[in-house]
Amino acid sequence: MENSSGRLVQPGTSASSTKLVGRAFEQDMKVIRSWLMDDEVSIIGIYGMGGVGKTTMLQHICNELLEKRDISHSVYWVNVPQGFKIEELQDLIAKYLNLDLSSKDDNLSRVVKLAKELAKKQKWILILDDLWNSFEPQEVGIPIPLKGSKLIMTTRSEMVCQQMNSRNNIRVDTFSDEESWTLFMEKLGHDKPLSPEVERMAADVARECAGLPLGIVTLAENLKGVDDLHEWRITLKRLKESNFWDMEDQMFQILRLSYDCLDNSAQQCFVYCVLFDERHKIEREVLIESFIEKGIIKEINRQATLDKGHSILDRLENVNLL
């Protein structure tokens, strides 16, 4: 999403982004801030398993950068598609530089154009989120090292950081039980205290999230406002019975639970959404019109139907399925 100044702002990077808790998070943020101030540091790597909070940490860093006058107009966030091609990454970066890279240009011309444009800006920060494979920055046209400029990436693999020649890397670890419980209760947001029975069940549910912030937030959103002990017990039972080999499999099980908790129309809307390639961008209103056209949602009048579509998309976002 691009704002009027031309800088790239990642959707969801507002001040309302999930506030992670814990001493490790604050320490990691402090280290990253120090690297951002160090002209000798050109590349910063943030790595860890899926759902552990890498992107959320980077969102907080991005918010801070956008408040700095000297750099706020040159912060670029790119969601990197899996299996990307060099030309595709070049186009994604060029878009936010208002740079026209013609498909007719040979690769060298594209590299030179992009490198010149970035070098001309002198000071910039390029954020690459969810990088699965390494690449040579010079082959894309990213002039690293360049004083005053940084390349920041998130990835699941420490090896990708090493292959990108990043010497300044942060591993994001899972939460402790205490940190998990704090975040879970914060996101659960009960106006009144939980009953002792529900609170004990909630503590067990939070522990079953394996310290993964994405899982904690997702389950808390699903259980928000639920006082029925039976529903809590069913959720806990399903989590305990799930056969998973590692924490990322557990994350999948949590997201599966989120899907199962949706009503039929919301499930159908989600299934329709996943038919799109992850690189495909579609406006919310266009998506809702597609739901209506396919007969997935239908209310007593058009406005009610549109409201239903927005409500479903909000729900899917809140439980981290979109």
Beta carbons of 35 and 29 less than 8 angstroms apart: no
pLDDT for 10 beyond 60: no
Mean pLDDT computed over 262-266:
88
The residue out of 242, 261, 280 marking a domain boundary is 261
pLDDT in tens, 312-321: 998 888 777 7
Mean pLDDT computed over 196-211:
91
CATH, residue 36:
3.40.50.300
When divided into structural domains, the chain yields a total of: 3
Same domain, 31 and 158: yes
The residue out of 244, 261, 278 marking a domain boundary is 261
The pLDDT of residue 72 is 74
The pLDDT of residue 16 is 40
pLDDT in tens, 279-288: 677 889 999 9
Same domain, 37 and 117: yes
Beta carbons of 185 and 283 less than 8 angstroms apart: no
Indicate the pLDDT class of residue 146, thresholds 50, 70 and 90.
confident
The pLDDT of residue 2 is 39
In a domain, 11, yes or no: no
Most confident stretch, 12-21, 117-126, 162-171: 162-171
Same domain, 215 and 148: no
Q: How far apart are the first and last CA of the chain?
A: 16
Sequence letter at residue 316: L
Return the SS3 of 157.
coil
pLDDT for 114 beyond 90: yes
Distance of alpha carbon 311 from alpha carbon 315, whole angstroms: 6
List the domain range (segments joined by +) for residue 295. 263-322
Average model confidence (pLDDT) for the chain? 84
Same domain, 223 and 129: no
In a domain, 2, yes or no: no
In a domain, 14, yes or no: no
In a domain, 35, yes or no: yes
The owner of tokens 């299996």 is 83
Same domain, 193 and 238: yes
